[in-house]
Amino acid sequence: MSTSPSGQGRAISVLVVSTLAFTVCFMVWMMFGVIGIPIKKQLGLNATEFGLLTAMPVLTGSLIRVPLGIWTDKFGGRIVFFTLMMACVLPIWLMSYASAYWHFLVIGMFVGLAGGSFSVGTPYVARWFPKNRQGFAMGVFGAGNSGAAVNKFIAPALVVAFGWTMVPHVYAAVLLGTAILFWFFSHSDDSHLVASKASFTSQLKALKDPKVLKYCQYYSIVFGGYVALSLWMVQYYVGEYGLDIRVAALLAACFSLPGGVLRAIGGWMSDKYGAHAVTWWVMWVSWICLFLLSYPQTSFTIQTVNGDKTFHIGLNVYAFTALMFALGIAWAFGKASVFKYISDDYGQNIGAISGIVGLAGGLGGFILPILFGLLMDLTGVRSSAFMLLYGVVWVSLIWMYWTEVRKTDVMSRQVSVSQSFSR
């Protein structure tokens, strides 16, 4: 990045307009989290079918991330980002005319391309800033995840006032306007292009790197879990607590909003304290929250000297929302810290590596809602979704301990022993 005032101004302009564009793209990507509820009622879907419906846009938005990251390295973020947004406008508009289940699945795949915008914006934004500020810059851009919360504010109001078919019309118009705004206020710099003739297959070879696999695992929970719960929470509130869709969406935003906007703080903390320290604490906070959220509503009866006595144990709506709020904050920090790992370790290949890690996170966001639905249909327990996420966090904690925490402790002891001998 140039240190001249004009260079700094261009960098800030790129950051602001890219974050706005990503927010709108994420809002579109999470559309089924709200309109899926009336569609589910209209088509008579079960929990598994609903999970697949909400997850279908996430699938294509995930699969496209690796090639988008490669194209961003090769052609530049400005043209790739603009083209991607324009390509999504028509499918979003056509969504309002779908009537059969397969219509929604097919069109949802095209709408889901908007979710790939993360792998374009991350390297595009990062290359405008020096290394010691890339974590913060990527965190600000990643705050566009708050589009999930914006969707929960806008879509329910449109559904109640005009019906769900109005949402795709409004979202298509908003995306078109955002694409035009992005083109006029973004910039390009040929020095940011990476001259690479590597194929898609050769880029995927990075998955042989154990560190990349580990970062994929971390991101599958902090981002994949965030996407999955953003899609799942409105209907969870409606089913578990019997709330109106507008109230349910508002409470669900208590998870989605901090999970998006606080990502910038996570980037700043990762720059200051390091990616490992932030991610380690994120996983432990997640472990505690998910343990409590996993406990189902339970009633049990015991025999006392005065007769049978029944007790009820379970989270009320206020405690549940407070835990979801804390989980959203933790995952906001975690999303930023994982990409700080990437900028530290793969500075010359951010586009491809961020695409691969983003793909893993997105696939988590695709698979998890389907598994939520399957578990719900099999067990009838809504909190089984949190039980599944609790297990995923366990995997991340164990992996991090053996590859980072324990390794650091061993190295520290070796240094201590060598210093003792030197004396």
**All structural domains of the chain with their residue ranges:** 9-189+203-415
- Res. 80 pLDDT band, cuts 50 70 90: very high
Arithmetic mean of pLDDT over the chain: 85
- Res. 410 pLDDT band, cuts 50 70 90: very low
pLDDT at 409 over 60: no
DSSP state letters, 133-148: HHHHHHHHHHGGGGHH
**Distance, CA of 26 to CA of 30 (rounded, Å):** 6
Which residues fall within 8 angstroms of residue 332, CB to CB, at 6 or more apart? 145, 258, 259, 260, 261, 262, 263, 265, 266
Q: How many residues does the chain have?
A: 423
Which residues fall within 8 angstroms of residue 141, CB to CB, at 6 or more apart? 15, 18, 19, 22, 121, 122, 125
**Distance, CA of 205 to CA of 200 (rounded, Å):** 9
- Half-sphere exposure of residue 83, counting CA atoms within 13 Å on the CB side? 10
Give the number of other CB atoms < 10 A from CB of residue 409: 11
**Distance, CA of 204 to CA of 353 (rounded, Å):** 9
**Distance, CA of 292 to CA of 240 (rounded, Å):** 16
The CATH topology of domain 9-189+203-415 is Growth Hormone; Chain: A; (1.20.1250)
Question: For the chain, how many helices (H) and strands (E)?
Answer: 20, 2
Chain segment 315-371, per-residue pLDDT in tens: 899 999 999 999 999 998 998 888 888 878 776 666 667 778 878 888 888 899 999
Tell which wins on pLDDT, 367 or 211: 367
pLDDT of residue 75: 87
Task: Say which amino acid occupies 92.
Answer: I
pLDDT of residue 201: 66
Which residues fall within 8 angstroms of residue 35, CB to CB, at 6 or more apart? 155, 159, 164, 167, 168
- The CA-CA-CA angle for residues 99, 102, 108, to 5°, reads 90
**Distance, CA of 418 to CA of 314 (rounded, Å):** 54
**Distance, CA of 344 to CA of 353 (rounded, Å):** 12
> CA separation (Å) from 407 to 27, 273, 314, 373, 413?
40, 18, 40, 39, 10
pLDDT of residue 411: 46
pLDDT at 412 over 60: no
**Distance, CA of 222 to CA of 396 (rounded, Å):** 10
Give the burial class of 357: count Cβ atoms within 10 A of its Cβ; 0-12 exposed, 13-18 middle, 19 or more buried.
buried
* Strand partners for 312: 299
> CA separation (Å) from 106 to 112, 167, 168, 269?
10, 18, 15, 41
**Distance, CA of 37 to CA of 367 (rounded, Å):** 19
pLDDT of residue 362: 84
